[in-house]
Amino acid sequence: MLRKKLVITLTTARGSRQYTLGQLARYLLALFLVMSVCSFFVSNLLLVKTSDELDDLEQGINSLASQYEMTLGAQELQKGQLDQLSTTLQELKVERDHLQEENLRIGELNETLDASLYGLEDLLGLPPSEEMTSDRADALTVMTNQRLFFLSVLPNGEPTQGIRITDGFGMRMHPIHKKRIMHNGIDFKADIGTPVYATADGAVEYAGLHKQSGFGKLIILQHALGFKTYYAHLSDVKVKSGTFVSKGQLIGLTGNSGISTGPHLHYEVRYLFRPVDPAPFVAWNISNFESLFSEVKGVKWASLRKMYPLNQALQTAQQ
């Protein structure tokens, strides 16, 4: 009977105790042990499987995090591109507005230029054009430059702002010699010290007191194409012989030196040493440019026209 019993001995500090289990208890204990072992293995299997699933889940989370970061980067890139596009569009709008303003300004300039060119025709004494073409504008430019060239090198305009002309060119009764003699210039009545200006570009041939002629203080200027101008009875000379002067430059002051009955400027124009009437030269300007060539008879203008075909470009543009 003892073989069918299970004896369990427990030893403590107080001594040992034995416990006897029956057959049923043994079966229950064995079943418990078997179930414990099975539970242990099953738990381990479940734990391993759960660990693998957790690893997979962690990898999935990491992948999602990477994708999220990539998505955020793409969004930032798109935002930067949109900002750049917005800036570009704003710059294009500003440029468009600038171009519109520039086109308006160019249009206004073209209108002003056309008006100026039509005004230039009037200034040149020409009939108005029906249409201002580029050829016409070029011809007007050439013609203007040509006239300005001649007006700078040939005597024109008044040499001083005199009160009036008291004596003209031609035969007259001399106020001192009391006999009729040739007066080779024109006299401008002017107070002593009135400025005297060169009527064209040139070189100073003589500047100083000229006793032999009775002109007193005298300036002689040499100009282009054989012309000279004389400025007599001055009170002061502002230039020196051998120097160059430009049209409109101050060269002296009016006076009463030499053989003179009162303050005035005696002004002469000479061509190849021969006096010519200064009046047409005094009245000559850009708007009556052709008048000089018909009024001054002592100069062979035809040969000058062969050298400088006046208004040829304009005639070509009108054909």
Question: Is 169 in the same domain as 267?
Answer: yes
Structure confidence by residue, pLDDT tens digits, 279-292: 999 999 988 888 89
Give a yes or no: residue 113 inside a domain.
Answer: no
From CA 238, how far away is CA 252, in angstroms rounded? 5
Question: Which residue numbers in the chain have pLDDT < 50?
Answer: 1-2, 106-111, 113, 312-319
Give a yes or no: residue 254 inside a domain.
Answer: yes
Q: What is the extent of the structural domain holding 206?
A: 159-284
Q: What pLDDT is attached to residue 125?
A: 61
Give a yes or no: residue 262 inside a domain.
Answer: yes
CATH of residue 274 = 2.70.70.10
Q: Calculate the CA dihedral of residues 204, 205, 211, 214 and round it to 10 degrees.
A: -80
Out of 20, 42, 72, a domain closes at 72
Give a yes or no: residue 290 inside a domain.
Answer: no
Q: Which residues contact 178 (CB under 8 A, 6 or more apart)?
A: none
Give me the residue label for tokens 């040939």. 154
From CA 168, how far away is CA 228, in angstroms rounded? 18
Q: What pLDDT is attached to residue 314?
A: 41
Q: What pLDDT is attached to residue 159?
A: 96
Residue 226, Cβ neighbours under 10 Å: how many?
12
Structure confidence by residue, pLDDT tens digits, 67-78: 777 777 777 777
Out of 20, 40, 72, a domain closes at 72
Give a yes or no: residue 23 inside a domain.
Answer: yes
Domain count, the chain: 2
Give a yes or no: residue 245 inside a domain.
Answer: yes
From CA 265, how far away is CA 262, in angstroms rounded? 10
104 alpha-carbon distance from chain centroid: 17
Alpha helices in the chain (DSSP H): 23-123, 134-153, 279-283, 291-295, 301-307, 312-318
Q: How is residue 244 written in tokens?
A: 């160059």
Phi/psi at 78 (nearest 5 deg)? -65, -40
Give a yes or no: residue 13 inside a domain.
Answer: yes
Out of 72, 100, 132, a domain closes at 72
Give a yes or no: residue 224 inside a domain.
Answer: yes
Please list the residues that pair with 182 across neighbouring strands.
Answer: 171
Whole-model pTM over 0.85: no
Structure confidence by residue, pLDDT tens digits, 186-225: 999 999 999 999 999 999 999 999 988 889 999 999 999 9
Is residue 234 within 8 A of residue 252, CB to CB? The reply is: yes
Q: At what angle do helices 23-123 and 134-153 cross, to 10 degrees?
A: 50
Angle, vertex CA 175, rays to CA 170 and CA 180, nearest 5: 45
Q: Which residues contact 256 (CB under 8 A, 6 or more apart)?
A: 192, 216, 233, 235, 262, 263, 264
From CA 269, how far away is CA 221, in angstroms rounded? 10
From CA 313, how far away is CA 300, in angstroms rounded? 22
Q: What pLDDT is attached to residue 115?
A: 55
